[in-house]
Amino acid sequence: MSVKRVLFIDDGSIDEIVERLRRNLKRRGFTLIKSMIDLNQPKFKKKSGVGSKETLDFQAIKDELIESYANEPLDLIACDYHYANDELDGYKILGWLKNESRSKKHRIRRAKFCLYSSEGDKLAKKTNSIEDLSKLIRHRFDDFLKRENLANDLSGILLKEEEKFDFSKALDNELSKFPDFKFKSVYPKFEGKEISEIIQEMTKETHHGIKFQQNLVELTIAHFIELNKEEK
């Protein structure tokens, strides 16, 4: 059974949403692998001084995202927009993550980036200037969803991806099944490298990462033609 990997960022319970999403995907032949950044965990909190109010620690959240998820083969990141009694919001977190992953060419950049909320009016109030709207457009989030229908909407986004084909992503997914396997031939520059290392080259879009994919296409076609010749 194929899998769909989703990361949630929230300060509340998402158990019901996850179970509904899991059922939706299972009906279509997919297994959900869910990850969660629970913003209520103490490691994501800070105080600026004695007697000060506890707030979310943006730097701690950034560190967790990069250290634990930057190079994971995620299909989608779903981030709650509004956090109780805090100036930090999902728009800032997701916007930073998208920019960071694109600029550093992290693997996570290939995921879908979605905000969700039961209080969408709060985002509308914050984007009441040309500058705010420009920032929102530049981030190019894949969707802004209502929490009430989140499981169904996420299912739709994930399943719609099956109608497209991304060669690099498909190759990444297949090679990821053998992370410790060592290459001995096929592409000389990668001789002796583990597949996990080759995936990093592909993800970073290095010269040899791109050439390796091109070489693999050529070899596959050549093998395909040869097999068909043998059948005659």
pLDDT of residue 179: 83
Share of residues in the chain with pLDDT > 90 (%): 46
Mean pLDDT, the chain, whole residue set:
85
Q: Look at the block and give the residue holding tokens 């059922």.
A: 23
pLDDT of amino acid 133: 46
Under the banding of pLDDT at 50, 70 and 90, the label for residue 130 is very low
Averaged pLDDT, 106-124: 82
Most confident of 5-9, 124-128, 228-232: 5-9
204: Cβ–Cβ under 8 A, 6 or more apart, which residues?
105
Give the three-state DSSP class for 75. Answer: coil
Per-residue pLDDT band at 195 (split at 50, 70, 90): confident
pLDDT at 170 over 70: yes
Look up residue 6 and give its DSSP letter. Answer: E
Q: Tell me the average pLDDT across 138-167.
A: 86
- With beta carbons less than 8 A apart as the criterion, state whether 38 and 72 touch: no
DSSP-derived pairing of the beta strands 2-10 and 76-80: parallel
pTM above 0.85, yes or no: no
The long-range contacts involving 84-91, CB below 8 angstroms and separated by at least 24 positions, are 84/11, 85/53, 86/55, 86/56, 87/55, 88/55, 88/56, 88/58, 90/9, 90/115, 90/117, 91/115, 91/123, 91/126, 91/136
- What domains are there in the chain, each with its CATH number? 2-163 (3.40.50.2300), 167-231 (no CATH)
Q: pLDDT-derived band of residue 199, with 50, 70 and 90 as boundaries?
A: confident
- 205 has pLDDT over 80: yes
Q: 118: how many CB neighbours lie within 10 A of its CB?
A: 14
For the beta carbon of residue 182, count every other beta carbon within 10 angstroms: 13
54-91: pLDDT as tens digits: 899 999 999 999 999 999 999 999 999 988 767 898 98
Per-residue pLDDT, averaged over 19-33, amounts to 96
Joined together, the tokens standing for residue 94 give 């997701």
For the chain, how many residues are written? 232
pLDDT value at position 49?
A: 65
